[in-house]
Amino acid sequence: MKILVIGSGGREHAICWKLAQSKLVENLYACPGNPGTAQIAKNVNFDFENFENLKDFILNNSIDTVVVGPEAPLVNGIHDQISEDESLSYVNVIGPKKHGARLEGSKEFSKKFMFRHDVPTAKYQSFTAETLEKGEAFLETLTPPFVLKADGLAAGKGVLIISDLQTAKEELNNMLLEAKFGDAGSTVVIEEFLDGLEFSVFALTDGKDYVILPVAKDYKRIGEGDTGLNTGGMGAISPVSFVNDIMMQKVEERIVKPTVAGLKKDNIDYKGFIFFGLIEVKGEPFVIEYNARLGDPETEVVLPRLKSDFAELLHACGNGTLAEKKIEFDSRTAVTVMTVSGGYPGGYSKGKEIIGLEKVTNSIVFHAGTRKENNKILTSGGRVLAFTSFGDDKQEALLNSYKSIYKVDYSGMTYRKDIGFDL
Ligand code: AMP
Ligand code: GLY
């Protein structure tokens, strides 16, 4: 297989890392990739959002599989463009077309989908500037906290959870009348607050069948004890102790199956990952959100636990033969601890030299926000490095990651010391 992976973060490094282990993979490219992917794949830097560039690259390098890491290119139709071009129609694109990507790209679309197909989720109503007053009246019927969601993609910032009614009304006005989240907030979904523990499940589907990857949990807040601002993710763990086999059966029967069947019923041609953002409420799973891709940093623990050949699974996804695939996992616990730049998720500086990476032997270090200059690895983002380790239990896995982190340094390096604390 000749595979192109689109993206540049820790998730894409983990995807490349897993693919590079497969005998089926002849050539592996990452666009744009990062210094981590450069160790196992060939980084290529062209504007993949310019279709002619993408097409040239695919044809010139006989690419047969394109794995799309982040959501934005999917929502913008990268898969549609490739499959609508006759000379590329053979290419296996992992990631849905525009229509399917709306499961992530539009909260309203995904809520309607869930209600249509009986997938358990919070009750909701959606509003626009024209129906603002009805929105305010709807808020009055709910018990706090209030959950307001910008319909469109808002870089993970479009969800507000507000404890008092007056502020909730003000924020609804800000979103609908003042374009607080730009176009993304021109429709707002208001939903019932669900109180419980969150976890993430990923399925790979060929549109008919699916395989479910190991369950994971991510830690979104910057501060220990899950406090402070939301980030792109400070760490993750897999498996998740409160998600037992019975819960996973419920997830499969009530959520994964009706979702995949629903896509088929609605004629949504979907090949790729479905990310189920889930919450357990009194022993029952509910969907908080769908994403049309793998999660970050969950991928950094999920793929290391996958024993099966990842390239073979992606090939089966393209061929529509996932039904024949069984997947195997490593039974050990994997954790990842993310180190970030000082100040993140607020302002932070970049270009700090990272030292000590060569001393890490007991963890896999996935690069999230780094770049290489004059043979030095420098920070280049808020989230910088993901330290993934295994252990027979959570404690051992965490100890391995923290020991590895102690060997590495850059100015302002920050990380949470309590990943997995709540389990
Ligand atoms: P989303 O972007 O939809 O995943 O929402 C971001 C975060 O907001 C989720 O990970 C949850 O922590 C929280 N959240 C979203 N919807 C709800 C809800 N209905 N009840 C409780 N928390 C929610
Ligand atoms: N870890 C959550 C996400 O990838 O959206």
Q: What is the tens place of the pLDDT at every residue in 277-294?
A: 999 999 999 999 999 999
- What confidence tier does 156 reach under pLDDT thresholds 50, 70, 90? confident
**Nearest ligand to the C-alpha of residue 221?**
1
Mean pLDDT of 88-99: 97
Q: What percent of the chain is predicted at pLDDT more than 90? A: 95
Taking all residues of the chain, what is their mean pLDDT, rounded to a whole number?
96
- Ligand 2 atom closest to the Cα of residue 220 is 1
**Nearest alpha carbon to residue 409 among 371, 354, 363, 372:** 354
**Nearest alpha carbon to residue 368 among 8, 7, 43:** 8
Ligand 1: distance of its center to the CA of 241 in Å? 21
pLDDT at 186: 87
The best mutation among 113, 146, 161 to test binding of ligand 1, ranked by most ligand atoms within 8 Å of the C-beta, falls on 161
Q: Is the pLDDT of residue 219 over 90?
A: yes
Cβ–Cβ contacts within 10 Å for residue 326, how many?
6
pLDDT at 154: 85
**Identity (one letter) of the amino acid at 402?**
Y
Residues framing ligand 1 (Cβ under 6 A): 122, 147, 149, 159, 191, 193-194, 198, 277, 288-289
- What confidence tier does 182 reach under pLDDT thresholds 50, 70, 90? confident
- What confidence tier does 351 reach under pLDDT thresholds 50, 70, 90? very high
Tokens of 61: 């390098």
Ligand 2: distance of its center to the CA of 201 in Å? 11
**Identity (one letter) of the amino acid at 253?**
E
- What confidence tier does 155 reach under pLDDT thresholds 50, 70, 90? confident
- Alpha-carbon distance of 133 to 126, in angstroms, equals 12
DSSP 41-92: SEE----TTSHHHHHHHHHHTT--EEEE-SHHHHHTTHHHHHHHSGGGTT-E
Q: Which residue bears the tokens 């280049």?
A: 380
Mean pLDDT of 170-197: 92
Q: What percent of the chain is predicted at pLDDT more than 70? A: 100
> Which element (helix H / strand E) includes 124?
strand 124-128
- Alpha-carbon distance of 15 to 5, in angstroms, equals 8
Cβ of 291 closer than 6 Å to ligand 2, yes or no, is yes
Instruction: Measure CA 130 to chain center.
Output: 33
**Nearest ligand to the C-alpha of residue 219?**
2
Instruction: Measure CA 248 to chain center.
Output: 19
Cβ of 96 closer than 6 Å to ligand 2, yes or no, is no
Q: Which residue bears the tokens 């993934």?
A: 388
- What confidence tier does 185 reach under pLDDT thresholds 50, 70, 90? confident
pLDDT at 179: 85
Ligand 1: distance of its center to the CA of 155 in Å? 14
DSSP 191-251: E----SEEEEEEEEE-SS-EEEPPPBEEEEEEETTTEEEEEEEEEEEES-TT--HHHHHHI
Q: Is the pLDDT of residue 199 over 80?
A: yes
- Ligand 1 atom closest to the Cα of residue 289 is 3
Q: Is the pLDDT of residue 103 over 90?
A: yes
User: Which runs of E-coded beta strand occur in 247-382?
Assistant: 272-281, 284-291, 333-340, 364-367, 370-373, 376-379
Q: Which residue bears the tokens 């290489």?
A: 372
The structure's pTM equals 0.96
Ligand 1: distance of its center to the CA of 252 in Å? 21
Ligand 2: distance of its center to the CA of 79 in Å? 21
Q: Is the pLDDT of residue 415 over 90?
A: yes
